[in-house]
Chain A
Amino acid sequence: MRKRTLKRGLTGFWWFTLAFLYLPLAVVVLFSFNASNSAASFTGFSWRWYHQLMGNEQILSAFANSMVLAIVSSVIALGIGCLIGYGMYRHRHRKLGWLIVLIYLPIVLPDIVFGISEMAFFVQVHRLTGLFQPGLGTMIIAHVTFQIPFVALIVYSRFVGLDPTLFEAAKDLYATPAKRVIHFMLPTIKPALISAFFLSFTLSVDDFVISFFTAGPESATLPIYIWGAIKKGVSPEINAIATLMIGAVAIAAIISLMFSRRRQA
């Protein structure tokens, strides 16, 4: 009897928590279709904010910046992180404490400290040498820095999960070092590479604080643009961009669900 009451209470709490989690997102989506520009009452359905969005040069360029930043940084981080992940695996019997500290540093450092260190560093190096003009370039550098550890850890854990004799079997079956990489290692860790790429991409698109402090005047990304718009005074247009970004996340969620389903099957 008591058990059943507990279960029923928990079910209620679960739905309450879900409402708590999705209410803010739902409000944003709802008001993106609001006919009036009131943020408090819904007066009717309209696409007008989306139409306005399409004509807004700043938003389109912010979107382009976000994509370039996310894709370029993810590709670089994938290459570098993949090498570290393999190195950590291959030399896991050595004492690599310093490397572990280095890898975890970008993960544990508070965003704000991360962002301002890079900003202060870039500003000073720029003053002295003219390098690192704040802009997409510095943002890419900063993003790669926080993406590397995630890629490295994903690749490392994939390698650790493999039967170590597979590496020997590849050697034994006449694969030269280059062929081992192409025909054995890369195909074997392909799932890890894909998920590392998507995680890097998501981290990059999600990031605000680090981008904010390393950006230049011409390199605003979508979150930076939205931030500026909120600071200036709320415009319903923001609801529309935000809704599009929420939609992208929803699609990503459904894809990841389908992947995990297929893996189970």
Chain B
Amino acid sequence: MTDTLTLDSAEASRAADGATAEPAREASSIEMQGLHKRFGRDTVALAGVDLTIEAGEFFTLLGPSGCGKTTLLRILAGLEEADDGRLSIGGRDVTEVPPHKRSVNTVFQSYALFPHLSVRENLAFGLKMLGIAPREREARVARIAEFIQLGDLVDRRVDQLSGGQRQRIALARALVNEPDVLLLDEPLSALDAGLRSQLQVELLRVQKRLGMTFVFVTHDQDEAMVMSDRIAVLNGGVIQQVGPPREVYEHPANAFVARFMGHANLYPVSARDGDRLTTPLGVLSAEGAGQGELLLIRPETLDLLPGDQPGENRLPATVGERLYRGSHAEYRLEVGESTLQATVNNRGRRLPEVGDRVTVTVAPEDLVTLSE
């Protein structure tokens, strides 16, 4: 028994006996308007969130802890009521609908499997509460168990399951109800790195296979980029940017997003003459970098040449620090009074040492400007 959701073999076996595993329901879109939420007197969790999530999308709410992403998810689930604003799912206004009347299910961070029930009873819990007849309940539990490849797990007790197995049961327990929207609250954060990346891929495949709307919460920007169709980056209860992973990473809306999505070299632009930007590093020429007052240089867009090789977009630098990471090396470079982070892939050639004089080069089209 492995901890993977091997859909390919599930498909194969389904083709063999002609059963259909996917819910027939159509995916639903989500509309949020002006959502506010405050805890206690002065903790603001959401300060006016307007957001539309398309039907069938794998949508991720990303941000540091306390940014409001979990609160937003809980409002979608109905576990928290917004102080103000409207929420509709699949065109229906559900702002004041309690959780047990919403066709929305959640995969909880702690999995929240009922300890007094067997795995099978856990899977059937939602259907039982919906008043679905025992015969159909069993059929649907059996179908989902096959779809998620649970095998003999359904006959175990909850306390006999490993973390990865619990995660899959929690997923199956939510999916078996065929909800309009599936909410996932950091479902992989309790797992170790190997299992985690395996399950990331499998979760994505389940979503694509079912075509269901998934709303995924995480604080891990790598995970968000791997999984999502679109990402909303939150900070301080405000949405900073919404867009596909590449757009959010490569064209961040502001300094917060730029830093949160990965390592970022940011410099104020003090003067601008057409495409020529004056920065503390020197004058750099950019192409289509936008009109922002901050220059962003991602470390991996930089290249290092040995010695002094002056020219356009070439900066003389000294290696201040090097972290060797096998596949690549991370550098802290001193350029005049400024420092610059650079990531260089290890392609077998000589990696500059600490103290070496080098020349940093960057392509004009890799430069982006953004506002504070």
A-side interface residues toward B, CB under 8 Å?
162-163, 165-166, 168-176, 179, 183-184, 187-188, 190
Contacts and interface: CB of A to CB of B under 8 A. Distances in A.
Given A175-B129, A183-B128, A188-B116, A169 B108 contact: yes
Interface residues of B, number: 27
B112 A174 contact: no
B140 to A, nearest CB: 14
Contact of B106 (A172, A175, A179, A183): A172
Contacts, number: 66
A173 B116 contact: no
Given A166-B114, A184-B114, A188-B114, A173 B105 contact: yes
B78, B79, B112, B126: residue with the most chain A Cβ atoms closer than 10 Å: B112
Contacts of B311: none
A165 B73 CA distance: 14
Interface in B169-213: 173-174, 177
B116 A190 contact: yes
B98 interface: yes
A172 B108 CA distance: 10
A163 B166 CA distance: 14
Contacts of B100: 171-176
Interface of B: 77-79, 98-101, 104-106, 108-110, 112-117, 125-126, 128-130, 173-174, 177
Contacts of A165: 108-110, 112
A169 B113 CA distance: 8
Nearest to A177: B100
A187 B116 contact: yes
B105 A172 contact: yes
Given A171-B78, A172-B104, 6 more contacts: A172-B79, A173-B100, A174-B126, A176-B129, A183-B125, A187-B116
B129 A163 contact: no
A170 B77 CA distance: 12
B219 to A, nearest CB: 18
A190 B114 CA distance: 13
Nearest to A188: B116
Nearest to B124: A173
Given A163-B112, A187-B116, A188-B114, A172 B129 contact: no
A166 B129 contact: no
B177 A173 contact: yes
A150 to B, nearest CB: 23
A170 B78 CA distance: 12
Contact of B125 (A162, A163, A173, A188): A173
Contacts of B108: 165, 168-169
A175 B124 CA distance: 12
Contacts of B174: 172
Contacts of B115: 162, 166, 188
A252 to B, nearest CB: 25
A29 to B, nearest CB: 41
B99, B110, B130: residue with the most chain A Cβ atoms closer than 10 Å: B99
A168, A175, A176, A187: residue with the most chain B Cβ atoms closer than 10 Å: A168
22 contacts: A163-B110, A163-B112, A165-B108, A168-B99, A168-B108, A169-B113, A169-B114, A171-B78, A171-B79, A171-B99, A172-B99, A172-B100, A173-B100, A173-B105, A173-B125, A173-B173, A174-B101, A183-B129, A184-B114, A188-B114, A188-B115, A190-B116
A176 B177 CA distance: 16
A168 B114 contact: no
Contact of A172 (B77, B109, B130): B77
Contacts of B112: 163, 165-166, 168-169
B114 A179 contact: no
A59 to B, nearest CB: 42
Contacts of A175: 100, 125, 129
B121 to A, nearest CB: 10
B161 to A, nearest CB: 14
A163 B110 CA distance: 8
Nearest to B105: A172
A166 to B, nearest CB: 5
A173 B109 CA distance: 16
Nearest to A179: B129
A183 B100 CA distance: 14
Closest 5 CB pairs of A and B: A173-B126, A169-B112, A174-B129, A165-B112, A171-B99
Contacts of B98: 171
